[in-house]
Each structure stands twice: as structure tokens, then as C-alpha cells.
Structure 1
Amino acid sequence: MPPDDAYQEEFHVPKRQSVFFSASELEGQPIPARQWLVNGLIPSGTVTLLGGDGGTGKSLLALQLAASTALERAWLGLQTASGTAMYISAEDDRDELHRRIADICRAEGVTPADLDRLTLRSLAGEDALLAAQNGRTGALQASYLYRELDAKLQEDAPALIVLDTLADLFPGNENDRAQARQFVGMLRGLAIRHECAVVMLAHPSLSGLNSGSGTSGSTGWNNSVRSRLYLERVKDEGYETDPDARILRTMKANYGRIGGEISLKWRQGVFVPDAPVTGLDRMAANAKAERVFLNLLRAFTAQGRRVNHAGGPTYAPKLFSEHQDAEKCTKRVLRAAMEKLLADGKIKIEEDGPSYKRRTFLAVSDGG
């Protein structure tokens, strides 16, 4: 039985009229094609969560996406759907947005006059909440800003709206699964009604940051969005070798593949896709790592310093990566080189010591 008018009025439940249909009605009807803003990465008509720790550059990356959509140009080398775009920032003021737009225009070879299809709104210093909590039921209700945004979307009919950032726009507890799902549902309502992609930016929780998953608060956020991307710095054992390098990872994709990565570099105020590594480049890098590993193993052996393949304080890849002659080879790269050298028989694992306390160590094979 549907709720009566008194219940709806008391608990502020919006009136609705559900439309049920039989699956048989689909017989003979053309199957609608899935719509994408960025093919395989950002679907239209739903919500994508773009996460990243503070200072990684997710706001800039999302603004570049909005500009690419408005300019009908590729984003990170990927074709975007053409259309108007809207960028709502609760973090950056007008001057900061101006500086970033200037950098993007410089990189694209255009002027701000060419971005007439990109609408900006700075909420810095204002009430940026898109919802309010009902004091009695705890349910989320659309705020005045949400209704204002809904009307603007109706007027502009954009292909994309970017919302930066979740912490400023969401009024509830990020660890509350029910509230997370309800808020994503409100945003998805915008995406469906206006046939656009909604990209919401968010910071990862401490556990999401430490694990590398990039999740934010409750699992409700990850479960409710249809796509989730994560922008992170490139680190090896906690060490950042290039402060301008980033990786954009596909962490969830209900309509495509997960696990994809795009390597990026920050250059002159914008992110650009890193040049792909060719087969010859990769072979040269692997050969270098193997040469470094062999040379250091010989040097350590000559000094009477034994290293092992299994871990601990004498773990070869770790000690070698910290050596002055490592030639910038990281622990991860040297670990791969060690495995390749072992497989090729160029190095070997030996044992010595009494039977009750055998110890293993690495040695260069004859002819290695």
C-alpha cells in the first residue's frame, strides 16, 4: 500500500508515481546504445567518483575534462563527447579558477573566449551543501543550491557537470552507508533527468589512502557509483622519484574494464599523458636493471657482504636500490631483475651454515 498524504506531509516524503512494466514490452524494441562522456571510463547518465589525496591535482584534471568537453577535444588522449560543461568548485575561488583556465588555454592553444560552452561556479566561502538532513527522520532533502543547480542544468543541458568536492557538498556522515547511497542517488537523479555525466571529486579516507584503494568513508560510496577513478602520485616504497608524475587508475567500472592505468605528467600548469614506453625502451630498461644487479652482487660478494632473495635486512633489491651505484633503479625494478636473472640461471641461491641453522644467499653463477 502506498504511503498516504498525511505520512508524506509529516515526514517530508516526496510524492511519486512508480511506472512498472513487463519485460515482454521490450520485445522488438531497439536496444539503446550506452552513452559515454569518455568511452570505457566515464559513463553518461550516472555518477563517477574521482578520488585523490589533497594536492594530487584532481581538481585540475577534472577542470581539464570540462574544458575538453566544451572544446570538443581529447582529454588525456581520449576522445570526449562534445557538449556544454559545468564546473562547480567549493574549494577554489574565482581568481584560482581564472589561473587554471589560463594554463589550460595556453596548453590547448585557445583563449577563454573559446570556452563559451564551459560554465563555472565558485562556492568558496559560501554554503555549498547540496542537501540538508531532516531533523526527525535523518533523511537527506534537496537544498536550495541543489534546486538552483537542477534548474541551471535544465537550462544549459550540459554533457558534463563536475562537483568539487564531496566534503563540502555532502552534509552527512561520510561513514554512514545509507546517507552515502542516498546522496549518490540524488546526484544520479540529476544525471538521469538531464542526460549528462556527473563527476564528483572526493578525498580518500586514511585507510583508503594507506591501502591504495582510494576509497572514501563508507563502502556505500564505492558501491553506489557506477564508475570510480583514483589519481595518485607515483611512489616506490614510499619514495616519490618524480613529483610531477601521476597515475589515473580505474578502480571500478560497472560498464567496462577495471585495472586500467593512464600515466600522466604535470607540465606548465596542466596534466598531459606520459609517452608510452615502447618495446625497445622497455628492453633497454630491463637490461640496465639486470646489469646493475649483477654488478652490485659482485661488489657485495667481493666485500664479504651476503645478500638474499627472500627479504629481511639483507634483502638484495632493497640494499642495491639504496646503493650509490644503483643508477636510479628502484627496489621494484631490481626485484624484477633478480627474478629474471634467477630464471635465466645467471645468479643462484646457495646455502651454508650448520644443519640446524641453514642460511641462504645469492651468488653469481659461473659464466653469469
Structure 2
Amino acid sequence: MALKVIDLHAQLRRIDFLVPGLIPFGYVTFLGAREGVGKTTLMTCLAWQMTRPDGLGEYLGHPIPAGPVIYLNTDAADGEGRSVRFSLEQHRGAFPDGDMSGITVLESTGAGLSLDEFAELLSVARDLGARCVIIDSFMGTFPGIDGNKLQDTMRPMIALRDFAAQTGAAVIVLDHLPKKAANEKEGERGIMGSTGKSAQARAVHLLTRVPPREVEGRDVLRWEVRKNSFARSGHALGLEVERWEDEHGHPAGLRLLPCDLPAEEERSDTRSDRAKAAAVALLTEKAGLTVPHAELIAAAIKGGNVRERAAQQAVREALGALGAQVREVRLGGRGAPRAYVYDPAEAAEEGVRIVEEDQDFMPPASLIESEEVFTC
């Protein structure tokens, strides 16, 4: 039988963290960002700090243990590991007590790795006793799959999960974020591709750059803890990247400094927020007029660039926000479809009222049919 009965009386083992509360040992962690934001900078910093004498390494303001690191570079492989080595040299400029021999940099010689070739990495990790394995990136390591299809992403994700469990290492997978749509915040849709990736990972973090105008021109990154199975999630950390040059103007070092993020907007302005706002706007613009339920759904879909299910939730929230200022009516015709009238002057004291309206009205078919909006 392919099922295992879990002994609920057995003692659970303690979850240990490489970075306290953020990156667990023995599990897969995803870090997603757009190109050029700083994934490699942040991960080479972590790798370098792990090569410092035990007790001296720190990351994101937390002490971290020393140990061997594997950095698999498939995103910008050039046969020399140039991008990874360039970052490591800058970290050495800031912390010269680290040891380059504590990091093993690997590059694929072909187009990524097959699952059989990926299995060879397991032997390397075991031989080295790796405490951290950084895979840069998911798309570069597994180029032969369609990352948007669940059935394609599950095989490498299960392989990554088993890899982490068998080695006990913190396995960190770097991935990309989709290009944001108009009126959408960077990273709002999470990691690019199938949600199967985020579902199999035990921690998912998103990295975005804070607009320089909001931080006096400084290079500040926002590290969002989107998912965390073993610690707190739903919060964000601020990191300032401080760089300096030598007398010839060449990069000489960098360090990451925890910092405060600019105050978040009072209103999050997500797609769901915009869908709700579109429904409220339609009702208030047509104050005193009958607005069919299907028309509200269509407005929410268009205004928030969401699917029908999210639009239905947005309409419910819009009606709840307007409360007694809206009354529900039933239109004549087949099925007695719902409609609403926004009339603050005659608000009922007990909330939404249901009134039968004797009119033979059916909304256009284009409004009844669900509309799915996809963004790239």
C-alpha cells in the first residue's frame, strides 16, 4: 500500500533552522525574485557567512552555523562560475575571515540536469556533508519541464523534497517571479508557474526592490515571508545592500544590513481590493438604479483582473461594506435573478432588504457568462 499510517503518539523531532525562523534544515525553501534584484547576492552572502569560523557567521541579523555549502549554478553557467565568484569575492572583501574552500560551486555542462543527473548531486552532497545546497535556479536546472503544469513540476519537486530529507541539508531553490501586470504589485502572484512548487516547499520567500525614491536613493530589498510551515509567516524584512569600491573604482566589497522598510500603504491595493472597489463604484455610480448581480460580477472581473470566483467574493465584500445602504431585489423572468439598488437615503435599519420587483429584465448573456482573465 502506498500509504503510511502515522503514529500520533510518537515524539516529533525538533525542526532546526539554518537561518532562525526562515530557512529550515532538511526541507526545501524557495526564494523568488525578478531578474537582477539580488537573488545571487543574497545567497552567496549566506554561503560565505557559513564559511566563517563557527560562531562568527551571521545572516539577516541572526547567527548561523558553519558548514559545507554547495552552490549549483545553472542560471548563468559560463564554465567559470563568474557571476557566483564575483559575488563571493565581494563578500570576502567585507569578511576576510571566510574560507573559499568551504563552498563547492557546480555548473551543468549541458542544458540543465535530468532527474538522473540530479541524483548524482545527492552523492556529492553526502560526500561533502553539505549543510546547505543552493540551486540557482529551478528553471535553469529543470529546463525540460513545463513549469506551468502541475504534473511536470511534481517530479522535480518530489526529487528536491527527498534530496533535502536524505541529506538533512537546507535546500534553497531560487526561482523567478512573473512579470507584474498593470496596477499589480511586484510579487503579488507569488512564484512563477504551477502552485505545486510552493505547495511542496516548506518555506517560500519573495524578494523585491523597494523603489529608491522611497528610501532616499538607497539599495533596499524587501524580503517577504510568504509561506513558512514551521515558523511565523506573513511579514517582511528590510535589507540594505551596502557596496564600496577600491581606489580604482572597482567593486571591493558589500554587506547586507537589516533595515526598516518604508511604511506600508494603509490599503494593500491587491487585485481583490480593486475588484471590490469596482463593485462599490458601480453601485454608487448607479445610485437609485437596479444593478443586476451579473453586471456587478462583470465589473469586479474587469476592475480587479480576477477570475469569477474571486469576483464573487469581491461582490460579497462590497455588499457587506455598503450594508444597509443596499437593498437586494429579485428581477422578473426565469430564475428571478438577483439585483441590487444602492439608496443611502432610504437605508433599511436592519441591513439588506429583499424586494420583489415586477419587471421583466434579464441581463445580457455577455454579463452572465463567466469571464476568465489571464495575466502574463
TM-score range, shorter chain: 0.5 to 0.7
Q: Which amino acid aligns with 1:74?
A: E
In the TM superposition, 1:36-75 aligns within 5 A as 36-71=17-52, 72=54, 73-75=57-59
Equivalent residue number for residue 228 of structure 2: 253
Equivalent residue number for residue 193 of structure 2: 217
In the TM superposition, 1:163-182 aligns within 5 A as 163-170=135-142, 171-182=144-155
For residues 244-267 of structure 1, what are the alpha-carbon distances to aligned partners after superposition, in whole Å with 9 as ceiling and x for unaligned? 111111111111111232211222
In the TM superposition, 1:188-203 aligns within 5 A as 188-203=161-176
The structure 2 residue matched to 1:272, chosen from 256, 280, 293, is: 256
Cα shift at 1:240: 8.3
In the alignment, is the contact (CA less than 8 A) between 1:234 and 1:242 conserved in 2?
Answer: no
Q: Which amino acid aligns with 1:118?
A: I
The structure 2 residue matched to 1:83, chosen from 45, 63, 67, is: 67
Equivalent residue number for residue 103 of structure 2: 118
In the alignment, is the contact (CA less than 8 A) between 1:60 and 1:270 conserved in 2?
Answer: no
For residues 114-138 of structure 1, what are the alpha-carbon distances to aligned partners after superposition, in whole Å with 9 as ceiling and x for unaligned? 2322111233xx324333xxxxxxx
Evaluate the alpha carbon distance shift between residue 225 and residue 208 of structure 1 in structure 2; reply closer, same or farther with a 3 A threshold. Answer: farther
Equivalent residue number for residue 262 of structure 1: 237
What's the TM-score, normalizing by structure 1? 0.60
In the alignment, is the contact (CA less than 8 A) between 1:264 and 1:271 conserved in 2?
Answer: no
Evaluate the alpha carbon distance shift between residue 224 and residue 110 of structure 1 in structure 2; reply closer, same or farther with a 3 A threshold. Answer: same
In the TM superposition, 1:122-201 aligns within 5 A as 122-123=107-108, 126-131=109-114, 142-144=115-117, 146-170=118-142, 171-201=144-174
Gaps of 5+ in 2: 244-252, 264-376
Evaluate the alpha carbon distance shift between residue 207 and residue 143 of structure 1 in structure 2; reply closer, same or farther with a 3 A threshold. Answer: farther
Equivalent residue number for residue 15 of structure 2: 34
In the TM superposition, 1:186-335 aligns within 5 A as 186-207=159-180, 210-211=184-185, 212-213=187-188, 214-235=190-211, 242=217, 244-268=219-243, 269-276=253-260
Cα shift at 1:21: 5.1
Equivalent residue number for residue 98 of structure 1: 85
Evaluate the alpha carbon distance shift between residue 220 and residue 156 of structure 1 in structure 2; reply closer, same or farther with a 3 A threshold. Answer: same
Secondary structure of the 1:116 match is helix
Cα shift at 1:272: 1.1
Secondary structure of the 1:230 match is strand
Secondary structure of the 1:70 match is coil
Cα shift at 1:166: 1.4
Evaluate the alpha carbon distance shift between residue 21 and residue 205 of structure 1 in structure 2; reply closer, same or farther with a 3 A threshold. Answer: same
For residues 1-44 of structure 1, what are the alpha-carbon distances to aligned partners after superposition, in whole Å with 9 as ceiling and x for unaligned? x7xxxxxxxxxxxxxxx684562662xxx542112111110111
Separation (CA, whole Å) in 2 of partners of 1:21 and 1:244: 50
Separation (CA, whole Å) in 2 of partners of 1:208 and 1:223: 23
Evaluate the alpha carbon distance shift between residue 276 and residue 203 of structure 1 in structure 2; reply closer, same or farther with a 3 A threshold. Answer: closer
Counterpart check, 1:109 vs 2:96: yes
What's the TM-score, normalizing by structure 2? 0.59
Evaluate the alpha carbon distance shift between residue 52 and residue 22 of structure 1 in structure 2; reply closer, same or farther with a 3 A threshold. Answer: closer
Structure with more of its chain in strand, by fraction: 2
Cα shift at 1:208: 8.4
Cα shift at 1:271: 4.5
Cα shift at 1:104: 0.6
Cα shift at 1:148: 2.1
Equivalent residue number for residue 139 of structure 1: none
Gaps of 5+ in 1: 3-17, 132-141, 286-368
Cα shift at 1:207: 4.8
In the alignment, is the contact (CA less than 8 A) between 1:222 and 1:228 conserved in 2?
Answer: yes
Separation (CA, whole Å) in 2 of partners of 1:254 and 1:22: 19
For residues 92-148 of structure 1, what are the alpha-carbon distances to aligned partners after superposition, in whole Å with 9 as ceiling and x for unaligned? 54333332211010111336xx2322111233xx324333xxxxxxxxxx232x132
Secondary structure of the 2:104 match is strand
Evaluate the alpha carbon distance shift between residue 265 and residue 196 of structure 1 in structure 2; reply closer, same or farther with a 3 A threshold. Answer: same
Q: What is the identity percentage for the equivalent residue pairs of Structure 1 and Structure 2?
A: 23
Q: Which amino acid aligns with 1:218?
A: S
In the alignment, is the contact (CA less than 8 A) between 2:175 and 2:191 conserved in 1?
Answer: no
Separation (CA, whole Å) in 2 of partners of 1:52 and 1:41: 16
Evaluate the alpha carbon distance shift between residue 270 and residue 185 of structure 1 in structure 2; reply closer, same or farther with a 3 A threshold. Answer: farther
Evaluate the alpha carbon distance shift between residue 235 and residue 69 of structure 1 in structure 2; reply closer, same or farther with a 3 A threshold. Answer: same
Evaluate the alpha carbon distance shift between residue 88 and residue 80 of structure 1 in structure 2; reply closer, same or farther with a 3 A threshold. Answer: same
Secondary structure of the 1:154 match is helix
